[in-house]
Structures are given as structure tokens and as C-alpha cells.
Amino acid sequence: MLYETSFPLHDLPEGRSACVKSLHNIGDMRRRLQDLGLVNDTRVTCLQRAASGDPTAYLIRGAVIALRKSDAEQVEVGVMP
């Protein structure tokens, strides 16, 4: 699938959606995210950041999941043109 631009998931503003392009982090966290259904082309919506700015709640496949900045930065997302 073609994306105009790609950026880390952490940069997705509240209330906006994007699709996963790739997962960078290696190892357990990557597998964990995949097991939660975060695979390529999955639509992710940024719901809300915590008051301190970290972590952030995302809507992934109907489930609300909180990801820390360090983990969300490892997920590359793109907005479809």
C-alpha cells in the first residue's frame, strides 16, 4: 500500500488515525504488539495522552491500549493519501 509520508506513531496527534507501515523494535515488545493485532496496515487511532504526555492511549482493533513513548516511537505509521 502506498503512503504519502511516514512518521513514528508517537507523533500522531490526538483524535487522528493512521495505518501501521512497519514495526522497528526487535524482540519481545515487537511480538507483543503483533499479538495485540498491530501488524502492517492496521488502523490505529490516537485517543488521548496522559496528563504528563506519556503514555498515550490508542484504539487498536477495538481495544484501547496504552503505549509508552519509547514503544510508540518504534512503530512507523503513514496516513493514506
Partner 1 sequence: MIALAGNPNVGKSTVFNALTGSHQHTGNWSGKTVSNAYGTMRYQNEAFTLVDLPGTYSLRAYSEEERIARDFIASGEVDLTVLVADATCLERNLILVLQVLELTPHAVLCLNLMDEAKKKQIQIDVAALTKELGIPVIPCAARRRRGLPQLSEAIATALCAEAPAQTARIRYPRIIEDALAPSDLPRSEALTALLQSPPPGLSAQELDDMITASTALRAEEIAMTCIAIPAAACARDRKLDRVLMSRRFGIPLMLILLALVFYITLFGANIPSSWLSDHLLGLAEPLRTALAAIGLPAALVSILVDGAWYVLATVVSVMLPPMAIFFPIFTLLEDAGYLPRVAFQLDHAFHCAHACGKQSLSMCMGEKGMPFFLTAPP
Enumerate binding residues for partner 1 (CB under 8 A). Answer: 28, 31-32, 34-37, 39-42, 47-55, 57, 60-63, 66, 68
Dihedral angle sign, alpha carbons of residues 39, 44, 47, 49: positive
- Of 16 and 61, the one with the shorter C-beta distance to partner 1 is 61
Nearer to partner 1, 11 or 41 (CB): 41
Report the distance separating Cα 18 and Cα 76, nearest Å.
10
The nearest distance, CB 7 to partner 1, in angstroms, is 21
Whole-angstrom CA distances from 74 to 48, 70, 71, 81 are 18, 7, 5, 22
Q: Are 76 and 9 in contact (CB under 8 A)?
A: yes
Q: What is the closest distance, in whole angstroms, from the C-beta atom of residue 50 to partner 1 in the complex?
A: 5
Q: Provide the minimum distance between the beta carbon of 47 and partner 1 in the complex, in angstroms, as a whole number.
A: 7
